[in-house]
Copies of this chain bind each other. A is one copy, B any other.
Amino acid sequence: MSAPLLALSRRLRNTPFTSRIEAFPVQAYTVYNHMLLPSRFRGLEEDYWHLRNAVQIWDVACERQVQIKGPDAQRLAQMLTVRDIRGFDVGRGGLVPLCDHEGRLLNDPVVFRIADDCYWFSISDSDVALWAGGLALGLGLDVEVTEPDVNPLAVQGRHSDDVLAKVFGDAIRSTKFFRFSTHEFRGHPLRIARSGWSAQGGFEIFVDDWEIGGLLYDAICEAGAEFEIGPGCPNLIERIEAGLMTYGTDITREHTPLEGGMEKYCSLDADVDAIGMAALRSQRAAGVTRRIIGVMADGERVPAQRDPWPIRLGSEVVGSITSITWSPRLQCNVGLGMVSASAADIGTSLVLDAPDGSRTATVCAVPFEGAAQR
């Protein structure tokens, strides 16, 4: 079928930037953490080239913050993730897999330490506040788990530093990757991190005031006019090229972070008390039986994908491709998927059963170029 309409209602929450992005207008939305996330403004490829060649402003308010605050904040934050975050000082962030007691992935947020006794988990699409709140209550911890009214606004693309320097001053340029510092806009302090869900570089601004948010959006657009700034959003082509997995699409509650290629974020040898750690250590010892891979697929441009497509090694189905698209830059189809570990070695030749026919798909290193991963 052609794309259906989205029925708008209060339950699919607006953001401080909704009026701006609808004025452009946005063509398509998705829904993420019970909130509207723009999905397309011009067209998939047009958005892609604009992100790469110019600079974009992104309404990513749906990256909700789960705030853990109080005397037991550090203890709970560390219990939530199998990554050792004891060394995270105030201002530092990083990607942290959250697992259940069987090591299965519940979310893959970026956590920032906001204060000695306060963390913000900038979450993917699941209600982490309920998980953390249930744990805190069950364990009798002295923490408050809340979702503050914080709405991230991202600027992504090669000109991000130049744009934000015009708004906040040159100090913004010295922000390190996955670090935040505080900058003023109209006298209002805002936390700004060098982070974001593209490999093009840029910032995320944690907007905690709706009126300031709207004014800031306009000020960034004005400052960015010389760089052809315009609204954008996480882009399917760009994220696949960069090897950025989506929770719920490429990795799900069925998978562990070891299967999802997140070994480097799992501190399996650290002496920390984290949910899922024992299960992941067992899995490591037994050997991981399936892995996320990148593939380049031969032939003409693949059709738009909605469901996973099966992928075979010879006649045996060994997994599926969960995200795939034509890369107009690489001039081939690039995809991400999950296959048996025995079929996951780089260079393995597989057969992808796409709806329009079968194609050879070769396992490749990701990112498909030397782009940084979030």
Contact B127 A138 (CB under 8 A): no
Contact A9 B25 (CB under 8 A): no
Contact A8 B130 (CB under 8 A): no
Q: Which residues of B contact A211 (CB under 8 A)?
A: none
Which stretch, A26-34, A173-181, A360-368, touches the partner chain B? A26-34
Q: Name the contact of A28 in the complex, choosing from B6, B101, B138, B247 (C-beta under 8 A).
A: B6
- Interface size range of chain A in the complex: 35 or more
Q: A131-B133, A134-B134, A135-B137 are in contact. Are A7 and B28 (CB under 8 A)?
A: yes
Q: Which residues of B contact A6 (CB under 8 A)?
A: 3-6, 28-31
Contact A307 B5 (CB under 8 A): no
- Shortest distance from the beta carbon of A323 to any chain B beta carbon, whole Å: 8
Cβ-based interface call for A14 (8 A)? yes
Report how far A67 CA is from B12 CA in the complex, Å. 26
Taken together, the copies of this chain in the complex come to: 2
Q: Which residues of B contact A135 (CB under 8 A)?
A: 134-135, 137-138
Contact A137 B275 (CB under 8 A): yes
Q: Which residues of B contact A286 (CB under 8 A)?
A: none
Contact B138 A9 (CB under 8 A): no
Report how far A367 CA is from B267 CA in the complex, Å. 56
Q: Which residues of B contact A5 (CB under 8 A)?
A: 3-6, 27-29, 40
* A47-81 vs B, Cβ < 8 Å mask (1 yes, 0 no): 00000000000000000000000000000000000
Contact B12 A31 (CB under 8 A): yes
- Shortest distance from the beta carbon of A113 to any chain B beta carbon, whole Å: 22
- Shortest distance from the beta carbon of A362 to any chain B beta carbon, whole Å: 23
Contact A126 B127 (CB under 8 A): yes
Contact A3 B7 (CB under 8 A): yes
Report how far A5 CA is from B25 CA in the complex, Å. 12
Tell which of A5, A130, A275 has the most Cβ of chain B within 10 Å: A130
Q: A1-B25, A135-B138 are in contact. Are A10 and B127 (CB under 8 A)?
A: no
Given contacts A4-B25, A7-B40, A135-B138, 4 further A-B contacts (CB under 8 A): A8-B306, A9-B30, A34-B248, A131-B134
Shortest beta-carbon contacts, A-B, top 7: A138-B138, A134-B134, A11-B248, A7-B39, A127-B127, A31-B31, A6-B6
